[in-house]
Amino acid sequence: MRSVLYAVLLLSTWVGLGCAAHRSDLEIPDREAIYDRPLDEMWPEVREFFTRNKLPFREDRGSQVLETEWRQEFGGSKVAGFFHRYMVVGRKETPTSSKLQIFRITKSRNKALQNPAVQLDWGVGRGIGIGDGSNGPEATPGESVVQTTTEDWEEVIAEPRGENAFFAESGQAQRDLLMEWRVFREVAPKLAKEENAPKQVQVAKAPTAKDAPSQMSIECGLPIIGLGKKAKPGTVMMLGELHGTQEVPRFVAQTSCQVTVAGTPVTVGLEIPLENQGRVDAFLDSQGEEGDWLKLMESPFWRSPYPDGRGSEAMANMLEQLRQLRSQGLDVDVVVFDHPKANGQQREDAMAATLVHQVESAPKRFYVVLSGNIHSRTKKGLPWNKDHRPMGLLLKEKLDDVVALDMAYDSGTAWICSVDSQGKRDRLDCGVRETKGKNNGDRYFVHTWDSVNSEGYHGVFYVGSVNASAPAIRVGDSGPGKEGSKNPFTPETGKVASSR
């Protein structure tokens, strides 16, 4: 009788989930998933889930704990610099029910994830206290153990090996509720032997792609909090940034990856001169070899004597990451919209017209539009020009669903161009500058307010502490991810401050 009742309840759950498939798959759940089966019955199906989805793992025999192998963000990109693995812990909820806790462990080649004065101590652990009496091969049956916290899991992670070996400068561990529910939606029906279980969400497959990867085969990084409420077909999400950081391009790349994997095609809008569209398209469809980079970097945009951050190494890395996603069959596109030959209001009008045309031509896509935070405002007026109508305002007047987000960040550095140190207004001084922000943690998130602020922003996107990103051309014409340069950048005119 109990199993029949469970099957009925489970079927009603699938119906509810089916009505909101897009929302439930991208939005981060606010509760745990509970399996109506004992832990020893649930665990074999969990192991099968990771095997079926080609996520190799190592298991601690004698306890319901496994850890997957390291995977790099954006599926093998040579420039991502971030690696992830899952720590999966089975826990007994009651004698007849259980749950999974899944932690996403993130490591980086740089210090982007490292707290001040903190050095990670890498170690290899064997047994992990689960609190169910099985604590590894050396444990005494029935012994009591101290419950662990997310910080404790760091001690049981083995150092990356083989092809994934690297020198890790920093790292963090976060609970991944979205992954817990993805596992639950596939495993729970099998436990109940439910034949009409919901199918796995299909990624947004590019129209020209022969095949597309499975949802679980792409590593998009830790889910961005609050993104799911905004990432809908037809929505234009404008990001007003401070140019010249490493973090904003990564936020855009992660957003694109997570939304396409959840089933919605994405177009990224970049404040790059319109004449670069052909070069960008060619690069996205290329193999990303040195010759492909040479063609992209031949544009005067990347060789400006006043590189203001839009042509940074991080921006070039982002194009490589988007190229990698497209090469695997995901429906990711890029549109450039700047009209630098126009001035003032004419430039705002031209940029808005370009984007309106794109959105109206493909209204079922999700648009992530990145620009300086003056252009993305949705209210009239600037301190020096009360009649100024920003691009964001023009878009909101023409399109149905536009949300403008200002950049929020913790203190750090950025590559910024400003009036030079001698106060000469006819030239710019470009280089690394300190920035002051507010610490809201290290997790990326999107947050909207009840009403727009005085600048026309609906909310913020937060990227943690920021780090300056130098001009891409300084990395070399070989492209990001490769050392050295055949043609190091030497500006013919102007003064460009060196990175410090």
**Alpha carbon distances (Å) from 41 to 54, 64, 92, 289:** 22, 11, 11, 49
Express each pLDDT in 254-306 by its tens digit.
999 999 999 999 999 999 999 999 999 999 999 988 899 889 988 999 988 77
| pLDDT, average across residues 372-393 | 93
Query: pLDDT band at 475, cuts 50/70/90?
Result: low
Lowest-pLDDT choice from 262-271, 374-383, 415-424, 466-475: 415-424
What 8-state DSSP symbol labels residue 147?
P
Express each pLDDT in 331-361 by its tens digit.
999 999 999 999 999 999 999 999 999 999 9
What 8-state DSSP symbol labels residue 334?
E
Q: How many residues does the chain have?
A: 500
| Predicted TM-score of the model (pTM) | 0.79
| pLDDT, average across residues 232-245 | 96
Domains annotated for the chain, with CATH where assigned, are: 2-192 (no CATH), 215-496 (3.40.50)
- The dihedral through the CA atoms of 148, 149, 152, 153 has a sign that is positive
> In DSSP terms, which residues pair with 434 in a beta bridge?
413
Burial 228-251 (b: 16+ CB within 10 A, else e): bebbbbebbbbbbbbbbbbbbbbb
Higher pLDDT, 174 or 197: 174
Give the C-alpha separation, 169 to 107, whole Å.
Answer: 8
- The dihedral through the CA atoms of 198, 204, 207, 212 has a sign that is negative
Q: Is the pLDDT of residue 484 over 60?
A: no
Q: Is the pLDDT of residue 50 over 90?
A: yes
Query: pLDDT band at 141, cuts 50/70/90?
Result: very low
**Alpha carbon distances (Å) from 205 to 14, 264, 285:** 24, 9, 15
Q: pLDDT exceeding 90 applies to what percent of the chain?
A: 57
Express each pLDDT in 5-40 by its tens digit.
333 334 344 434 443 333 447 788 889 999 999 999
pLDDT of 482 reads 52
Distance, CA of 180 to chain centre: 18
Give the C-alpha separation, 320 to 39, whole Å.
Answer: 43
